[in-house]
Structure 1
Amino acid sequence: MRKNIPKIQYITQDSARFSHSEQARLMFEKGIECVQIRMKNSTEEEILTQAKQALQSAKKYGKTLIINDSIEIAKEIGAHGVHLGLSDTPINEARDFLGDEFIIGGTTNTIEDIQLQQSRGANYVGLGPFKHTTTKKNISPIIGLNGYKEILFQMKNLKLDIPIIAVGGIQLNDIETLTQTGLYGVALSGALLQTLNNHNTD
C-alpha cells in the first residue's frame, strides 16, 4: 500500500537545550513535514510523555509524527507511523499489530536489506549512513554518494520500487546532491538541531 511519505524527515536526539517534543514543535513550525521521535536512552514513560506532546504539535500543524522502535507507544498515542531497525520487531509483525493505516519505515544498509524490508511490507526505508554520524552507536558501513548511486542502479535492475530516505551524517549542503541521485528524500538530525541552537540563542 503506497502511502504519502514526506521527503524531509527530522530525527530527534538528546539535547541539553531542547526536549524531544520541543524539537518536534520547532521543526513543525519551520515547515518540516515529518519528525521521528528517537529516544534511545530514555524510559518508556519518558518516551510516552514526549511522544504525546509531539503528536499534539503534529496535529496542530498538520504534519507527520513517527516513533522510533516502539510499536506499543505508536499505537497507544495514535502516531502516524513507526521506524524499525533490522533488529527491532519485524515489519510484517508490526503491521499485524498496528494495522494498514500506519506508516512503517525500516532501516537498511544494503540492497539485500532493502529487499528484506520491502518483502516484509515497509512503506519506505532509511538507507545509510551517508557519512560518519555521532548520533548513532554501532553504525553500519558508510555508504557515501557512490554507494547510493550503485544501490539505486541495482534497484532499477531488480525492479524494486520503494521510497529511499538517505540518513546518517547528512548536512544541509548535502541535500541537493543526494536528491539529484534519484533518492526519494533525506532524514536529518544534527544539522537541523544546529539551526535551532543558532536561531534560539539567548
Structure 2
Amino acid sequence: MKLYALCDQDLLDKNDLCLEDFVAIAKKHDAEVIQYRNKSADISFIKQQLIELRRLFEGFLIINDTFELSPFCDGVHIGQEDLQKIDPDEKKAIKILREVLGKDKLIGLSTHNKDEIIKANELDINYVGLGAYRATSTKEVDNILADRLDEIASFSIHPVAAIGGVRLDDRFENVTYHVIGSGLL
C-alpha cells in the first residue's frame, strides 16, 4: 500500500493541528504524497500553506483544484465539477490544464464510477481518484462504492487512488494509493 495523505485545512482547524503536526503524522505512516485541500481560504493563504508544506515534506505535493498555484507544488488534483468549469468537454479541459501546468506537473482527476474511469482513460492525466469507498466526515458523498471500488479500479489504465473514508488497514488489488485524511489523525 502506498499512502496519499489528504491535508484538509478545515480538518486541521477542527483538530487544532498545524501543518507541522500533520506532516509528522504523514511521515510516520510513510506517506509518498500530500494533497493540500482548502475550500474556504483566499489564494494567498493557500500559497503560504503550500510553501510551508514544501519546506516540511520532500515527497509529492499536490494542490486540490487551485491549479494557479501549481508552481508551488508537483501537481493538481481536480474534481469533475471543477474540470467542467474549465471546459464542458473533458478532453479540451485537460488539454487546457496541461498547457497551463506543463508536462512536468501531475494531474489527478476524481472519478466516481466505471463510466468516468473509462472517460479518464482517454485523458492526459497521471492518476485518478476513485470513490468514495465509504462515508467520510470531510465531504458529503452521495455515491458509496464499497466493495465495488476495487473492481471499478481494474478498468483504469492510470494509477488509482482510493478516496473517501479509506483507512490504513483497507486492502485493494487494483489500487495504487490509499488516500487518507481524517484516518491519520
TM-score (normalizing by structure 1): 0.77
Matched, 1:94 2:92: no
| Structure 1 position 24, deviation (Å) | 4.9
Describe the superposition over 1:87-142 as per-residue Cα deviations: whole angstroms up to 9, x where unpaired.
Answer: 114332211101000011000001111122332211100000000011013x2400
Higher strand fraction (1 or 2)? 2
Equivalences for 1:121-140 in 2 at 5 Å? 121-137=124-140, 139-140=141-142
Checking the alignment, whether the CA contact within 8 Å between 2:5 and 2:26 is kept in structure 1 is no
Question: Do the aligned residues in 1 keep the contact of 2:151 with 2:174 (CA within 8 Å)?
Answer: no
Structure 1 stretches of 5 or more lacking a match? 1-5, 195-202
Q: 1:112 pairs with 112, 115, 120, which one?
A: 115
Measured in 1, the distance between the counterparts of 2:21 and 2:142 equals 26
Identity of aligned residues (%): 28
Query: Where does 1:30-179 land on structure 2 (aligned, <5 Å)?
Result: 30=28, 31-58=30-57, 62-75=58-71, 77=72, 79-89=73-83, 90-137=93-140, 139-145=141-147, 147-153=148-154, 155=155, 160-174=156-170, 177-178=171-172
Greater fraction of residues in helix: 1
The whole-number CA distance in structure 1 between the counterparts of 2:174 and 2:25 is: 25
Partner of 2:176: 184
RMSD: 1.9
Structure 1 residues 46 and 116, CA gap change in structure 2 (3 angstroms): same
Q: Please give the secondary structure, in 1, of the residue aligned with 2:81.
A: coil
2:6 alignment partner in structure 1? 11
Contact 1:109–1:140 (CA under 8 A) maintained in structure 2: no
Structure 2 alignment gaps of length 5 or more: 84-92
- Where does residue 22 of structure 1 map in the other structure? 20
**What is the DSSP-based 3-state SS (H/G/I as helix, E as strand, rest coil) of the residue aligned with 1:88?**
helix
TM-score with structure 2 length normalisation? Answer: 0.84
Matches of 2:42 and 2:48, distance apart in 1 = 10
Q: Show structure 1 runs of 4+ deviating over 6 A.
A: none
